[in-house]
Each structure stands twice: as structure tokens, then as C-alpha cells.
A and B are shown apart, each in its own frame.
Chain A
């Protein structure tokens, strides 16, 4: 067994359904890897210490902070960013509701908001507004005042549950 540290690490993972292999610097966090190495600039790097949520992406089915996970740790995982979730149509209804409700202005927070919202909706049922707010408590929006975002997510939750029941 090797007792060695490396400053460059080989990783193999899937990003938005496609296999990716890369060699990454040890200190490279996942969101920089996605943005700078793979050109997937949807998720944003902003505070880089876990506070704002702009970097939120999905790893192995869970919403996580892209700035608080190293690219090296993503070896073997399945990563989805807003680009992939848009292409598959997985969040098309959320995106339409965000536009309809004016739930974005500058759009900087939106990729993270959508990944966080999708995680909540994937858990099933129709979350009440308090639960929606709580789930988004780690995603900052400097433009909208949140009300419209909660409206949009609530609308989609109700629509999805209706569709599921029908």
C-alpha cells in the first residue's frame, strides 16, 4: 500500500452523464474544475467558503457545495450541473416557473437555487413554504427578495404532485 501524497491527482467521474478523466491539482475545488477545466460555467464560485450557495451542484444525487469539495474527492462520482439538468429537461418546469414568477433578475444565484430546489422536490410530496425557505436557507439571492423563488418552487411542487397523482 502506498504511503504517498500527490499534488496532482488522477480522477475519473461522470459529469452530466459523460465520462470524464482528468489530472487535477490537489487544492482544486470541484466548482473550479467544472468551470475552468470543463468550461461548465453555470455553477458559480463566489464566496468560496460555503456561505452563499452559488456553487451548488449535484453529486451522487445530493446537492453539495462545489467550493467545499475537492475535485480529487469527486473521483468515481456522478456529477450533475445546471447545464446537464437543463439538457435532460429535468428542471424544465422549475426554469419555466422561475421565468413566469420573475424568480430571477441577474441570475447569478439561479443555477444553485435550481439544484437545491430540485433536491427538495425529488424528496416527494408538496413541501410547505416554511420547508421550502428552510431548504433554500443556504442559497443567497441579492436581487429577488426570495418571495418569487418560493412561489415558483411551490407552484412546481403542486404541479408535479398533481401530475404524479393523475
Chain B
């Protein structure tokens, strides 16, 4: 099918993009990588949108180290995260996640800001930023806000980004010397959205676990984390399975998804205990 679009404008800088959004009377849609948005437009999930193309805004691009935090511009593409040396050194979870996201041609265009704003519960980056305890920076007519990842995701495809705001960057604490970051998922084919997935960050013997594709939004698996902090691995697997209420759909039943996350946690723990994670 063909998209039915109300109009298009190419923003030259962030101010221009915010002005366009403000002038769009609620019909404005930020166009980043387009790998979810243009697919949705082609399927006519919406029509009449006024597209604000942010691809030429240089201030939204790239990765910089600022003290003990890494700042990743919203417009950084999945393929850039995959090869960026700062990401590899300071937030390897994001780099590992890119192997699991879609296919090469989609990774060449898709952006981390788009993935977070889109907030698909089956997507990897939303779970990763929560596991990494990142903050998400947005800019709007009233200025900028920093939102902890734990407060950013609201529901399926829903975040706390307000009308008129643009996601500008992600800021996260850099990996500590003995920290470990692991992501695992299972899908039917390479590049598919996961049937179930899990990422885990271990920092100074404390764990943060977030699952993928098992609920409406990424959430910390608090009970399982507490078990794992105590060294109770079997208890963590049981607590993780008990704490979830995953959806049943044509891809997988809830029971199967609950089983899979336990298997994935066992694999992730094996990775944490090994030398290579």
C-alpha cells in the first residue's frame, strides 16, 4: 500500500524541528530512521501526518564521553552503535543488542532515539537502557527534561514524551571495571523480533534484569534481581517466571514465553559466571 502523508519538512536544526512540531497542530510526526514510521505509513496505520525529518540535525548525532557518562545522540544509527569504539568500551550491552536487531539494511537507517520513542515491547534498546539505568533527554517548547529510563516507558508504543517534544539523547553511566553486561533472546529467524529476551547488568554484585517481549513495557524484574544478588540462581529463575504475565499471540503462548525467559536467565547467568560475557 502507499502512504498518505499530509506534508513533509526537513528540519535544519533542533530549534527548527521544535518550531515545526509546534506549528503542526498535533499532526506532526518526527521522522528519524523511518524504519518503523514509514512502514506504518505505507500500511496506512495513519494518514495526513506532517513529517518532520530530523536526519540533517547534526547536534543529534554521535557518541561522546563526558566524565563517567556516555552520551548517545538520538539520531545515532543502529549500525553506528554496532561499530562505535566508545559504545564497545563503555556500554557493550548496546553493541551486543545490535546483533539482534532486524537486518543489516534496517540497521543502516534505524536510530536509537527512534527505537526508544517507538517503545515497542519487543525491541531490544528499551530494555537495554533500563538495565543500564540510563536517562533519556528530551527537548520541548519549555526547554529540556531528563527522564530516568524507569519512568520513560508507559505502555505498548507509549512513552512520557509529550506533544511538541523531541528525544535528543541518551545518557548512561559507563561500565565499571568488573561489570558485566549480557543480552540473550530467542526468535524463529535471525533479525525477527524476539519471542522472548532478557538483558542483565551486574555491577558490584548487584544485578539489574529486564525482559523483552513479555509485557507491555520494559520493567526491572525486582524479585529475581534480589534472589540473584543473594547468589540464589534457581530462586532467581523461579522468581522471574512467577513475576511475569506474558501475552499469548500467534507467535508464542504465555506459558512458552514464561518458560523461555527462565532458560534465557540460566544462559545469562552462565555467561556472567564465565570469562567471556
Assembly CA distance A133 to B4 (angstroms) = 35
| Interface 9-mer from B7-15, B142-150, B162-170, B221-229 | B7-15
Contact of B104 among A5, A25, A75, A138 (CB under 8 A): A138
Assembly CA distance A48 to B1 (angstroms) = 7
Q: Which 8 A-B pairs have the closest CB atoms?
A: A138-B103, A5-B7, A27-B5, A27-B3, A26-B8, A49-B39, A137-B190, A62-B108
Chain A residues near B12 (CB-CB < 8 A)? 1
Chain A residues near B51 (CB-CB < 8 A)? 5, 26, 70
Chain A residues near B41 (CB-CB < 8 A)? 27
| Minimum CB–CB distance for B32 against chain A, Å | 11
Contact A49 B42 (CB under 8 A): yes
Contact B38 A29 (CB under 8 A): yes
B41, B42, B53, B104 interface centre (most CB from chain A within 10 Å): B104
- B residues within 8 Å of A by Cβ? 1-10, 12, 16, 19-20, 23-24, 31, 34-35, 38-39, 41-43, 50-51, 53, 55, 79, 102-106, 108-109, 189-191
Contact A29 B6 (CB under 8 A): no
Chain A residues near B43 (CB-CB < 8 A)? 48-49
Assembly CA distance A32 to B41 (angstroms) = 14
Chain B residues near A4 (CB-CB < 8 A)? 9
Contact of B55 among A3, A64, A73, A135 (CB under 8 A): A73
Assembly CA distance A62 to B78 (angstroms) = 13
Assembly CA distance A26 to B3 (angstroms) = 9
Q: Is A119 an interface residue (CB 8 A)?
A: yes
> Can you report 6 A-B residue pairs in the complex whose CB atoms are below 8 A from each other?
A3-B20, A7-B6, A48-B2, A69-B38, A75-B10, A120-B104
Assembly CA distance A5 to B27 (angstroms) = 11
Task: Report if A56-B105 is in contact (Cβ < 8 Å); known contacts: A1-B12, A49-B42, A134-B190.
Answer: yes
Assembly CA distance A48 to B41 (angstroms) = 10
Contact A65 B104 (CB under 8 A): no
Contact A116 B38 (CB under 8 A): no
Contact A26 B23 (CB under 8 A): no
Task: Report if A72-B53 is in contact (Cβ < 8 Å); known contacts: A137-B103, A138-B102.
Answer: yes
Contact A68 B4 (CB under 8 A): no
Q: Per DSSP, are chain A's interface residues mostly helix, strand or loop, or mixed?
A: mixed
- A residues within 8 Å of B by Cβ? 1, 3-7, 9, 25-27, 29, 32, 48-50, 53, 56, 62-65, 67-70, 72-73, 75, 116, 119-120, 133-135, 137-139
Contact A65 B53 (CB under 8 A): no
Contact of A5 among B8, B108, B189 (CB under 8 A): B8
Assembly CA distance A81 to B9 (angstroms) = 26
Specify the chain B residue showing the minimal Cβ separation from A115: B105
Chain B residues near A68 (CB-CB < 8 A)? 34-35, 38-39, 106, 109
Chain A residues near B16 (CB-CB < 8 A)? 1, 3
Assembly CA distance A70 to B37 (angstroms) = 11
| Minimum CB–CB distance for B263 against chain A, Å | 22
Contact B9 A6 (CB under 8 A): yes
Contact B108 A70 (CB under 8 A): no
Additional 15 contacts, C-beta under 8 A, given A4-B9, A49-B39, A50-B39: A3-B9, A5-B6, A5-B50, A7-B6, A26-B7, A29-B3, A56-B105, A63-B104, A63-B105, A64-B105, A65-B35, A69-B34, A70-B31, A116-B105, A137-B190
Contact B105 A73 (CB under 8 A): no
Specify the chain B residue showing the minimal Cβ separation from A24: B8
Chain A residues near B3 (CB-CB < 8 A)? 27, 29
| Minimum CB–CB distance for B135 against chain A, Å | 29
Contact A65 B1 (CB under 8 A): no
| Minimum CB–CB distance for A112 against chain B, Å | 9
Task: Report if A137-B191 is in contact (Cβ < 8 Å); known contacts: A49-B42, A73-B53.
Answer: yes
